[in-house]
Amino acid sequence: MEFRRLGDSGLKISEITYGNWLTHASQVENDVATQCVRAALDAGISTFDTADAYANTAAEQVLGDALAGERRESLEIFTKVYWPTGPRGHNDVGLSRKHVLESIDGSLRRLGTDYVDLYQAHRYDHETPLEETMQAFADVVRAGKALYVGVSEWTAEQIRAGHELAVQHGIQLISNQPQYSMLWRVIESDVVPASKQHGVSQIVWSPVAQGVLTGKYKPGADLPAGSRATDDKGGADTIKRFLTDEVLTGVAKLEPIAADLGLSMAQLAIAWVLQNDNVASAIIGASRPEQVADNVKAAGVTLPADVMTRIDDALGDLAEKDPAKTVSPERRPA
């Protein structure tokens, strides 16, 4: 495993982060989830990402149970706050001081830890003054409940404003967690330059485009049984935008590129996002332990410039690059 600094901090995290969105307490049974976490640890992954909203807080509990007994100082545990949790009451959502301070305590209890290494705003809250949110985050840090703070899917302008307030409050905003893959490149034009300017790294999710870049989906073919595209608990909704014959035909052109490098399609996709020097880590999920063992081999892989060009040529204009696609709900979800 290779490790990279997160933002301008001194914190180092594994190039591959294990995440449990859409899997723990949802798509896979708890014993399999624990096996996947053990596989991640065995592969050298030290960084684990979750959120209170995943499976309505149950995913945090599963991860905490799976990591119980591990040396806490050897792990980097990340979680997030914003989306509705619990009974989904009018204050069980957003980035108000009330919700932030109550949510961090719940997350720590479920994760079985005294602190998280990174506490992230899971989206931008347009209904709460940013000053209120950053003050609450600063209080969480000063209380020793989080070491650093980050955001997820914030625009360049929002990152700049958050960074300025973080500095004023004497804390470090060191990360953004956006979707990023060969097929979803909306952060490249605005978010990445702003992040570099302010010492913020990307921890990217969906580097294999919800599984499309693994090559398992074929143009004109039936969806594989048991795949994310057939999951009615949320997986099918997240992947459907990539399941067009045009996209799948372009993805098929990547197969010989991966073969020439001795990589699986998934390894190629994960290695591709790690070529971006503003990316500190790529988040992988897994429904089987062997998926972890395969995906982790992307760590430390360098893709030559000619390979990057071949990938661009294969996909043509299929990748989404519009920075306006980085957006948070105008109103808090109910």
- pLDDT 10s digits, 20-75: 886 655 555 678 888 999 999 999 999 999 999 999 999 999 999 999 999 999 99
Quickly count: other Cβ atoms within 10 Å of residue 225's Cβ: 6
8-state DSSP, 242:
G
Cβ within 8 Å of residue 3, ≥6 positions away: 12, 13, 14, 15, 46
pLDDT at 327: 95
- How far is it, in rounded angstroms, from Cα 99 to Cα 178? 22
Quote the CA–CA distance of 298 and 44 in Å, as a whole number: 12
Other beta carbons less than 10 A from residue 145's beta carbon: 18
Contacts of 268 (CB under 8 A, 6+ apart): 213, 254, 257, 258, 261, 298, 303, 311
Architecture of the domain whose range is 3-325: Alpha-Beta Barrel (3.20)
The single-letter code of the amino acid at 112 is G
pLDDT value of position 219 = 74
For the question of residue 18 being annotated catalytic, the response is: no
Residue 122's Cβ-count burial label (10 Å; 0-12, 13-18, 19+) is buried
The identity of residue 239, as a single letter, is I
* Two structure tokens written together for 313: 């040529």
Q: Among 176, 146, 148, which residue's Cα sits nearest to residue 161?
A: 176
Which of the following is catalytic: 18, 54, 124, 180?
A: 54
Look at residue 243 in the predicted model and tell me its pLDDT. 85
Which residues 6+ apart lie within 8 Å of 327 measured at CB? 153, 155
Angle at 20 between CA 16 and CA 24, to 5 degrees: 145
Strand pairing class (3-5; 12-14): antiparallel
**pLDDT of 300 above 80:** yes
**Is the pTM above the cut of 0.85?**
yes
pLDDT of residue 248: 93
pLDDT of residue 221: 64
Average pLDDT of every residue of the chain: 92
Angstrom distance (rounded) from CA 323 to CA 91: 30
Q: Are the CB atoms for 131 and 96 separated by under 8 Å?
A: no
Comparing 322 with 218, which gets the higher pLDDT?
A: 322
Pull the structure tokens for residue 231: 């999951």
Question: Across residues 132-151, what is the average pLDDT?
Answer: 98
206: left (phi over 0), alpha (psi -120 to 50) or beta: left
What average pLDDT score do residues 97-122 get? 98
Q: What is the band of 286 on the pLDDT scale with cuts at 50, 70, 90?
A: confident
pLDDT band at 186 (very low <50, low <70, confident <90, very high): very high
Give the mean pLDDT of 306-314: 96
Task: Please check the confidence at residue 136 and state whether its pLDDT lies above 90.
Answer: yes
The pLDDT value recorded for residue 242 is: 87
- Tell me the CA end-to-end span of the chain in Å, nearest whole number: 40
pLDDT digits (tens, 9 = 90+) for 74-98: 999 999 999 999 999 999 999 999 9
Q: What is the pLDDT of residue 313?
A: 95
Mean pLDDT of 319-332: 96
Residue 324 pLDDT > 80: yes
pLDDT digits (tens, 9 = 90+) for 215-252: 888 876 666 655 554 455 555 566 778 888 899 999 99
